[in-house]
Amino acid sequence: MNINIYYGGRGLIEDPSLYVMDKLTGVLDDVRAHVERYNLYENKSGIAMQVNTLKEADGVILVASVEWLGIGGLLQQFLDACWLYADRNILSKIYMFPVVISTSGGEREAQCMLTRAWELLGGKVCEGICAYVDDQTDFETDPQILSLIEKKGEDIYRIVHQGAPTFKSSARTEPGRFSQAPAAGLTPQESEQLSEYVSNDSYVQKQKKDVELLSQRYRNILDTGRDESKQEFIKEIKDGFVKTGERLEAVFSIEMTDTGRTLVIEIKDDDLKVYYGEASAPDVEAKTTRDVVNKLVRGKQTFQGAFMSGVLSSKGDFKLLRSFDQFFRFSSII
């Protein structure tokens, strides 16, 4: 299940909607939903391209931070792009949960605007969160507020997971009435960016594959050009790998907080890749210290034992976490 969060605020530390998003994300992570967050202020010129991210979403959370009036320009740009470029068939299957947090009033009007916009786009509208905050500290320390937010996170998961039915809207009863909008008066540069790069999914996928291929080639060059013995722990992990002949795909990411380095272990059947870097979507994310990793590869401690004792924290697929010690057998060194 994929949930996308689109944040239309400015990212200010005093924005209480950041607190709400963090808590909702925490709840959805706990129930193993895949959450992607898009801060629209981080790439203002590329907001139109965010429409392409809707293709894999089962549900979206639109977060508006009302500072003086309305939903703000960034979220409006995103909705405009949805109107111009999004596939209506895709939008019709996506649940939308509005989250409107206001520090000045007008939260109800902003919520109505988000609801109306998504209905016109043909999507499914569900009840979200609408709140006025006059004191950020009180809001973020109130256990009752936290309970309400967490309950809403659970509701979002249940509704999307179960494919719950929604009430019909007049805006959705006549699909032909709100068909794809005619092309706007764009400059040649804008037309190229918004039609070729946003609408042409095959082009985008080709670019992703090209980048992935180049990254893999560069990684292979680095692996073959370096003395593996100088890449700490890599040789030991490769030597300890147990080939079972079974079909398996797993990615482990082990961050050593005291060195700032992340060890990535990729297993595909009986093939193993070990390198330092970043994994795009690891199945298991662990955090520990260099000393603990050293004990692991020397057979002084097990992965499961480190987790149970608290010297290693982890999130992700706990079944794979428990199987780590079966994938790797490290000889104890006295």
| Encoded tokens for 297 | 């590869």
Q: What is the pLDDT of residue 188?
A: 39
Supply the pTM of this predicted model: 0.56
The greatest distance separating any two alpha carbons of the chain, rounded to the nearest whole angstrom, comes to 76
Query: Does 2-178 match 228-327 in CATH topology?
Result: no
Domain boundaries, the chain: 2-178, 228-327
**Alpha-carbon gap, residue 273 to 247, rounded angstroms:** 16
Ranked by mean pLDDT, the top range of 110-124, 156-170, 199-213 is 110-124
Q: 228-327 has which fold?
A: Nonspecific Lipid-transfer Protein; Chain A (3.30.1050)
Residue 311 predicted with pLDDT over 50: yes
According to the model, what pLDDT value does residue 295 have?
Answer: 92
Instruction: Express each pLDDT in 276-299 by its tens digit.
Output: 998 888 999 999 999 999 999 999
Give 102's strand partners.
Answer: 66, 132
State how far the Cα of 4 lies from the Cα of 39, in Å rounded to an integer. Answer: 11
CATH 3.40.50.360 fits 2-178, yes or no: yes
> Does residue 246 sit in helix, strand or coil?
coil
Residue 195: its pLDDT value, please? 46
> Can you say how many angstroms the Cα of residue 159 is from the centroid of all Cα atoms in its chain?
19
Mean pLDDT value of segment 232-247:
89
